[in-house]
Amino acid sequence: MNLLQLVNRARVECGVSGPALTTAQGQTGESGRFVSWVVQAWTDIQTSKEDWLWMREPFNFNTVSGTWEYSATAAGLTDFGNWKRDSFRASTNGQNYADEQLLNYMEWTTFRNLYRYANMRNTTARPVVVSIKPDKDLAFGSIPDAVYVIDGEYYTQPVTLSADADVPLLPSRFQMAIVYRSMMYYAGYESAPEVMSRGEFEYRRLYMRMEIDQLPTLVSGPPLA
């Protein structure tokens, strides 16, 4: 469903009378509120978890010799939301990934005390560790001594629905979650407990299925003994 279809479906589920809207643009009054509720519901779902699978994308970029920190913009990303910490790899530029190695993730405070301390501030070598600064810039240790290809994954920032034909990125079988969430907004505004009850029940039911299907699978490690 696109934005217009989601808005009209939400109106039907809430029992609103009147013909279906022909556009979601420039609506006022109750119709305008429905558009806002659908847009907000989609944003709420996207921001409720930081690692939805539908928001996960690959990236790669080349380091600069002697430069240890890189912003998302420097990595060529325009829709950046967060890094996938366990996804980073590095290989020597021009080697066609022949010497590619995994980069271990290190928490920023530990990284700072190790790689941004004393002589390590100026030590250059092949990076073996990646960290994420408080401002979400990437930090590599040691400082790259050459050009390396960094390959990894990130999570996009929330995408807003605006045009009538805009379609949310989540799988179509879960799109009704947006409608059910919108019903809760309508019910709160109109003091409609029956609509609130149904919206909450259906939203939670579908959200649980979405968590199972669209979140990374937890893998147990080997036994300790």
Tell me the pairing of strands 148-156 and 56-62.
Answer: antiparallel
Query: pLDDT digits over 114-169, tens only?
Result: 999 999 999 999 999 999 999 999 999 999 999 999 999 999 999 999 999 999 99
Cβ-based neighbours of 121, under 8 Å, separated by 6 or more: 115
Contact 143, 66 (CB under 8 A): yes
Contact 215, 74 (CB under 8 A): no
> What is the percent of the chain with per-residue pLDDT over 90, rounded to a whole number?
95
What pLDDT sits at residue 33? 97
Our CA dihedral for 194, 206, 81, 53, rounded to 10 degrees, sits at -170
Instruction: Indicate the SS3 state at residue 34.
Output: helix
For residue 31, give the amino acid letter: S
Tokens of 125: 């070598």
What pLDDT sits at residue 219? 60
Query: pLDDT digits over 18-40, tens only?
Result: 999 999 999 999 999 999 999 99
Count other C-beta atoms under 10 Å from residue 90's C-beta: 24
Distance in angstroms (rounded) separating the CA atoms of residues 164 and 23 = 6
Alpha helices in the chain (DSSP H): 3-13, 29-47, 108-115, 176-190, 193-214
Count other C-beta atoms under 10 Å from residue 20's C-beta: 11
